[in-house]
Structure formats: structure tokens, C-alpha cells
Structure 1
Amino acid sequence: MNLRNATPADAAALAELGTRSFVVKFGHLYRPEDLETFLAGSHTEAKAAKEIADPQMRVMLAENDGKLLGYCKLVMACGWPEHARGARVIELKQLYTDPEATGQGIGARLMDWALEEAAGFGADEIQLSVYSDNPGAQKFYSRYGFEKTADIYFMVGEQRDEEFLFAKVL
């Protein structure tokens, strides 16, 4: 497995994997119109291209033989300033793996990269949101020293999902 920075040519693959991963894991929770609205705003090729080009974001890909297996997006700014404990807080925006490749260490490699990138940037805290009914992800983040710091929410179309804000002081 190789890690590399995303380029504009990766936007379509990022959008496809983001859509597929979200739908496989969470699609059953939503009305079709809410899911469609959410995906149209979050997991499009245009949105991925904009994020790749954004100097405030870092997008790292995990690949094997040219196949995209996962990705991680960091926003080099604080997502929830009202809950920040550090002075230079960043957000782990997404850490997605291909549903067919889960359990192969992809998430661990991407998390290791994210923590190294945060340290190199001089961040003193990383925040992320995690669905309240996703114990597997919560356990994964806890293994890396993240802890629940607040109850927040996340909108998928018109549906409000209860989320947890997890954070790690660096």
C-alpha cells in the first residue's frame, strides 16, 4: 500500500469512493431525498477538486496497484472553536476506506499520516466528528488517544444525526 497526496486528477475517484463508502455504511439510515441532497453537496467530483486545490486542506490517498483504497482529509483550521482546548486546532474531516478493503490497515496508515501532518503543521489539537451509533469508529479513534469532548450534530439532508466530537490534544 502506498500513500500519496491527492492531485486534481483524483477528484472523480475521491467522489466515487466517498459516495460508495457513505452509502454502504449509512445509506440505510436516510430517506432517499435526504441521502441524495447530502451526497450532492458532499461527495461530488467538483467538491473533491475544490478540496484538493484548497491550501487549507491536506488530502492523502492510500492506494494499491493504482486502486484507491482509502483517503484522509485534514482541514488546517478548527472545525468547532467553541470546543477547542488548543491554540492551533485542526480538523480531521474524513477518513474513509473502501468497504471491500476494511480491516487491511488502511485506516491505521492514514491516521498515522494525519498525526504526523498535524505535528508538522504545529497543531496542538485535532478534532473530528463521529456518528453516535458508530462504535467501531469510536473505538478506532480511542486507540489513537481521541476522546469524546462534546455532543454535536450533523445534517444529512433534513435529518439531524447525533454525533460526538472527539479530540486529541497533541
Structure 2
Amino acid sequence: MTLHVRAAVPDDAAALAALAALTFPLACPPGTDPADITEFVRGNLTAAHLAAHVADASCDVLLVADDARPGTPLAYALVVDEAPPSTAVVPALSRMVSKFYAHPDVHGTPVTALLMGAVLDAGRARGVAAVWLGVNQRNERAQRFYAKHGFEVVGTKHMRVGDRIHDDFVLARVL
């Protein structure tokens, strides 16, 4: 594999949406209603939604590509300007890692570390003091990954998927 990270372009939106639909269910806790997951994906992770983020200069949409598989992102991240919840202690000048998903075939490979490095570099380039994210409290695999990259639990928040409220940890990484 010849990997590289690049900023997403409008033509990537459909491939990113397909990757989002594949990977979002993996971040949900066991027992989440599949219909609720499907509805969340339809309402939040469409090509149109992702294209809007790509077009928004305040967002960083980064993807890992393999030169051998053009047009097929292996992982992507969406970083946005969003204030952390009041239930978390995060430096005032921060950005939210709204999405960070990798194809299941590349879990545990250098792909995700490469993408995380790019996310942190993008935060530094924008002059923020920290990046933060929410991760389901039952998603221990993701929590281990983020801890390995210097994120610490700084609070909690809730995330609605369908009619169910899920408990998330808020993790932050000072840059």
C-alpha cells in the first residue's frame, strides 16, 4: 500500500458517505436498534452532508487514500468548529473531531495513526489549543486508540441515535 492523507474534495462525497454508512454502526453500542442506525446515517452521513462539510472552509475533512485503490478512502475524519459540552473541561480554543472512522479492514494498521497525525496537524495549523471528541462509553476499542494518541477523558455528553440516548465520554488532546 502507498498511503497518503489529503483533504477531501467534492468528488469524494459519495465514497465518504459509503464509508460512513459502513463504519458508523461499529461505533454504536451493542443493542442499538439497526433501524435507528440506518435513520441516523440517512439523516447525518449522506453524500450531500459530507459535500457540504467539504465545501465549508471552517471544516477539515481529511481522508487516507491508497494509490492502489483510487477513489476508495480507507479512513476519514471530519473536524469542525464546535464548542464542547458544558459537562467537559476543554481549553477555550478547541475544535471537535466530529467523525473519525476507518474501514474495518484497516483497523489496527498504520492507516488510523496516519489519519490521527493529520488531524492533530490540522488543529495546530488552525492555531487551536486542543481537539476534542465524543466516544461511546462502551466502545473500549476506540477509547484505547484515542488514549494511545494522547486523548484524556475530560467529561461526558449524550448522543441521540433514534429514540435512545447514549452516554459518551468527552476526550480531549492538548496540542
1: CA distance between counterparts of 2:168 and 2:26?
Answer: 19
Deviates more, 1:58-67 or 1:21-30: 21-30
Q: Quote the offset at 1:80 in angstroms.
A: 2.8
Q: What SS does the aligned partner of 2:28 have?
A: helix
Alpha-carbon distance change, 22 to 33 in structure 1, aligned in 2, over 3 angstroms: same
Q: Quote the offset at 1:24 in angstroms.
A: 4.4
Q: TM-score, normalised by structure 1?
A: 0.92
| Match runs of 1:40-55 below 5 Å | 40-55=42-57
Which structure 2 segments of 5+ residues have no match?
none
- 1:78/1:127 contact within 8 Å kept: no
Deviates more, 1:9-18 or 1:72-81: 72-81
Q: Quote the offset at 1:164 in angstroms.
A: 0.4
Alpha-carbon distance change, 79 to 47 in structure 1, aligned in 2, over 3 angstroms: farther
Which structure 1 segments of 5+ residues have no match?
none
1:32 pairs, out of 24, 31, 34, with 34
Q: Quote the offset at 1:28 in angstroms.
A: 5.4
- The structure richer in helix per residue is 1
2: CA distance between counterparts of 1:26 and 1:87?
Answer: 29
Q: Quote the offset at 1:43 in angstroms.
A: 1.3
2: CA distance between counterparts of 1:25 and 1:138?
Answer: 11
Does 1:100 find its partner at 2:105?
yes
1: CA distance between counterparts of 2:137 and 2:160?
Answer: 13
| Match runs of 1:13-162 below 5 Å | 13-26=15-28, 29-64=31-66, 65=68, 66=70, 67-80=72-85, 83-162=88-167
Equivalent pairs, count: 170
Q: RMSD across aligned C-alpha pairs, in angstroms?
A: 1.7
Identical residues among aligned pairs (%): 29
